[in-house]
Amino acid sequence: MESSAIALPSDRTGKVTGDAYLKFRLNSKTPAAFSMRSVQEAIVLPARRLTPMPNMPAAMMGLMNRRSRVIWVVDLAQLLGISTLDFNLQQYTLILIQVGTVPLGLAVQQVEGMTRLQPQEIQTPLGQMSMTLLPYLRGCALQPHDSKPEMMLVLDAEAIIQAPTLRESIWS
């Protein structure tokens, strides 16, 4: 019988409980998640299908066309001040989010799948995260990983779409 590294919470009837989140890695050391309410899909985009735009902030990777819609693509780790993706890749892993009518593509290192979190599992990030990251967090949650738990960032999609870098460069 196979065992999973992430056990889904369940109630006494054996039903899966908690809200659904898409779990991914910003870099090799930083797990994060978005509520599935704001996630449209996760895709792999060939680098040639991303059109760089001149005179944009470093986190702005460019534009892509998806289902006849032009969508901005952002290096999420760089936007959050964590690290930068390798721009010499042949393809990018993207999470497409949408808040209201605003779509955005977020380049991440790797998508790991779905997880479920109970509201009480999401703890305050105060005192645990850098101040530059706090405006973009709903909280953080401990998740099993290999032999020890790791802190997963629970990101706020609306706050990311309202990030000053994006507001000043593409939404204005």
Q: Is residue 6 part of a domain?
A: no
CA distances to 47, 79, 124, 160 from 62, in Å: 10, 13, 33, 17
Q: Which residues of the chain have pLDDT under 50?
A: 1-12
Q: Is residue 159 part of a domain?
A: yes
Q: How far apart, in whole angstroms, are the C-alpha atoms of residue 47 and residue 50?
A: 6
Query: What is residue 47's predicted lDDT score, i.e. its pLDDT?
Result: 93
- Please state the domain count of the chain: 1
Q: Is residue 94 part of a domain?
A: yes
Q: Is residue 3 part of a domain?
A: no
Query: What is residue 96's predicted lDDT score, i.e. its pLDDT?
Result: 98
Q: Is residue 11 part of a domain?
A: no
Q: Is residue 37 part of a domain?
A: yes
Q: CB atoms < 10 A from the CB of 124, how many?
A: 12
Q: Is residue 125 part of a domain?
A: yes
Which residue from 118, 117, 140 is spatially nearest to 127, judged by alpha carbons?
A: 140
Query: What is residue 4's predicted lDDT score, i.e. its pLDDT?
Result: 33
Give the CATH number of the domain where residue 158 resides. Answer: 2.40.50.180
Q: Is residue 10 part of a domain?
A: no
Q: 107 is in which domain, residue-wise?
A: 19-169
pLDDT in tens, 116-131: 999 999 998 777 777 8
CA distances to 72, 81, 82, 85, 103 from 59, in Å: 11, 9, 11, 9, 16
